[in-house]
Amino acid sequence: MAKSVLKNANGDRYVSARTLSDHLDLGATFIRKLESEGVLQRTPKGFHIDQARVAYIRHLRRERRQPSPQHEATADLAAARAEWLRLRSAERMKELVPVEIFDRTIDALAGATLVAMSSIPTRLFPYAQNIPERRRCEAVIFQVRRELAAKALRRAKEVEAAEAQGQGGAQPRDKPTSRLARCPAPQSLLSLAQRALGGGAAGDVA
C-alpha cells in the first residue's frame, strides 16, 4: 500500500488527494474540481501539501474579491427588496402616491382649468355687440394655453433627461414595486400640455 505522505531530501511533503482533502477539510470531489480548475497542481509524487494549502487560501481570497454570479444575484435581490420596503413605507407615510392617481388628478385639474378659462370671454362680453372683444379675449386665452403647454413640454423633457442620466442610459431593471410618484412624471406633464391645447397634439406647440 502506497504511503499517504512522501518526503524528499529537502523536507517537502507530498500527499495523496485523500490526505489533502482531510488536511483542507474538503471532500475528495471538491479536490478534483479544484485540480481541474488549475487551483491545485498534482505532481507525480502527489500534491505538495504546503503549496496546495497556500493555493487554496489564495483561491478563497479571489472568490471574496470577485463574488460569484449567484452572490451578485442574491445581493441584487436584497437591494430590490430594500427598495420595495422603502417605497411601501413612503407610500404609507403619504410621501408617495401611485402614478395612476397622480395622472388622473392632474388630468382632472387641467380639464377644470381649461373649462374655466374658456368661459372667461363669454362672461366678460355676454352681449352680441361685444363679439369683437370676445374674440380678442379668446385669442389671448388660447395663446396663454399654448404658453402653458410649452412650459409643460419643456419640464417633461427635463425630467426625462434627468431620469436617463440617473440610469446611465440603461434600461431600468424590473423591481417588485408599483409605479409611484413624488413629482410630476413626463407622461403627466405631456398630458397636461395636451389638455392645455384643448386635446390637440403636444407637438403642435410652437
- Per-residue confidence (pLDDT) for residue 54, from 0 to 100: 92
- Please answer whether residues 196 and 110 qualify as being in contact, where contact means their C-beta atoms are separated by less than 8 angstroms: yes
Say which range, 93-102, 105-114, 170-179, 190-199, has the weakest mean pLDDT. 170-179
Give percent of the chain above pLDDT 70. Answer: 71
- Per-residue confidence (pLDDT) for residue 84, from 0 to 100: 80
Strands (E), the chain: 5-7, 13-15, 42-43, 46-48, 97-98, 180-181
Tell me the pLDDT of the chain averaged across its residues.
76
How confident is the model over 147-170, as a mean pLDDT? Answer: 76
- Measure CA of the first residue to CA of the last residue in the chain; give whole Å: 94
Output the pTM of the full model: 0.41
Residue 175's nearest CA partner among 72, 76, 75 is: 76
Residue 104's nearest CA partner among 204, 195, 176 is: 195
- Per-residue confidence (pLDDT) for residue 67, from 0 to 100: 62
How confident is the model over 130-140, as a mean pLDDT? Answer: 92
- Per-residue confidence (pLDDT) for residue 10, from 0 to 100: 64
3-state secondary structure of 32: helix
In this predicted structure, the answer to whether residue 120 has a pLDDT above a threshold of 80 is yes
In this predicted structure, the answer to whether residue 167 has a pLDDT above a threshold of 80 is no
How confident is the model over 75-79, as a mean pLDDT? Answer: 81
CA atoms 39, 42, 47, 49: torsion sign: negative
Higher pLDDT among residues 86 and 34, named by residue: 34
- From CA 91, how far away is CA 180, in angstroms rounded? 8
The band of 181, judged by pLDDT with boundaries at 50, 70 and 90, is: low
104, three cell numbers: 388622473
